[in-house]
């Protein structure tokens, strides 16, 4: 398995549980939609899987490496080398052009390939926009840049938190199609948090989080 959460527990300060004995697995190349009501812990689970948040019990394993023994530097290295993230907020660097934003993660991971980045720009319909800055792009265009940036390092795992949540229906469909196409092309696994049953139905598997448990 590429990613495994094994009986993971996590509580908010004050002791309120947010993840309660959660077990989940994702194999290389699989796509999995994580659904649930607002406040059910979906984003927390994603952050735990991304080694952004710690956890109180159980274990998370990514590419055979357990996360609990890692210090901050080890978790940062794991993120650079193994995974990428796409959020509802596009989180582009406003002072960088589209081309520079696309290359950013790959450069940080020391895996920048100009031919691959050019291919991403073409696939994402960004070739004519590479010299623009984020403020001059529509929401759908900005999210396409964010997806390209995430995929530029060819991660083993793509984690996406409501990536179409700020987009209209048409832009949402385009972004989802492009994301699924790119993970299929690269063989990456995808764990996608969504409240949309229509989006969830497009992925290979679905898990529902309720009351801190997978149901």
User: What is residue 166's predicted lDDT score, i.e. its pLDDT?
Assistant: 87
Q: What is the mean pLDDT of residues 182-200?
A: 95
Strands (E), the chain: 3-11, 17-26, 31-35, 57-62, 65-66, 83-87, 157-161, 189-193, 205-210, 213-214
Half-sphere exposure of 31 (CA within 13 A, CB side): 20
Phi/psi for 23 (5° steps) reads -125, 135
For residue 17, list its beta bridge partners: 11
For residue 211, pLDDT over 90 is answered with: no
The pLDDT mean for the chain works out to 94
Percentage of the chain exceeding pLDDT 90 = 84
CA–CA distances in Å: residue 45 to residues 24, 49, 54, 97, 212: 10, 6, 10, 32, 9
Just give the CATH number of 3-214. 3.40.50.300
Question: Out of 36-45, 183-192, 199-208, which region has the weakest mean confidence (pLDDT)?
Answer: 36-45
User: Please, is 142 exposed, middle or buried when counting C-beta atoms within 10 Å of its C-beta (0-12, 13-18, 19+)?
Assistant: buried
For residue 42, pLDDT over 90 is answered with: yes
Question: Residues 6 or more apart from 57 whose CB is under 8 A from it?
Answer: 7, 8, 9
User: What is residue 16's predicted lDDT score, i.e. its pLDDT?
Assistant: 83
Residue 13 pLDDT level (bands cut at 50, 70, 90):
confident
Q: pLDDT by residue (tens digit) across 78-107?
A: 898 999 999 988 999 999 999 999 999 999
For residue 158, pLDDT over 90 is answered with: yes
Question: Residues 6 or more apart from 116 whose CB is under 8 A from it?
Answer: 106, 152, 154
For residue 32, list its beta bridge partners: 191, 205
User: What is residue 136's predicted lDDT score, i.e. its pLDDT?
Assistant: 97
Question: Residues 6 or more apart from 118 whose CB is under 8 A from it?
Answer: 127
Residue 159 pLDDT level (bands cut at 50, 70, 90):
very high
User: What is residue 19's predicted lDDT score, i.e. its pLDDT?
Assistant: 96
């Amino acid at each position: 398995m590429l990613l495994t959460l094994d009986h993971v527990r996590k509580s908010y300060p004050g002791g309120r549980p947010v993840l309660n004995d959660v077990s989940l697995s994702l194999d290389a190349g699989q796509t999995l939609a994580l659904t649930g009501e607002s406040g059910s812990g979906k984003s927390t689970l994603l952050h735990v899987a991304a080694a952004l948040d710690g956890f109180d019990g159980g274990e998370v394993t990514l590419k055979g490496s357990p996360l609990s023994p890692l210090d901050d530097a080890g978790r940062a290295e794991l993120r650079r080398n193994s995974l990428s993230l796409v959020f509802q907020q596009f989180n582009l660097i406003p002072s960088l052009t589209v081309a520079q934003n696309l290359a950013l993660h790959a450069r940080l991971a020391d895996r920048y390939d100009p031919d691959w980045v050019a291919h991403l720009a073409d696939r994402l319909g960004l070739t004519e926009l590479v010299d623009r800055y984020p403020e001059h792009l529509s929401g759908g265009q900005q999210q396409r840049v964010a997806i390209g940036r995430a995929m530029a390092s060819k991660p083993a795992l793509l984690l996406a938190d409501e990536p179409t949540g700020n987009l209209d229906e048409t832009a949402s469909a385009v972004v989802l199609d492009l994301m699924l196409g790119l993970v299929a092309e690269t063989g990456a696994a995808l764990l996608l948090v969504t409240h949309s049953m229509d989006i969830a139905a497009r992925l290979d598997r679905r898990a529902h989080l309720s009351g801190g448990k997978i149901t």
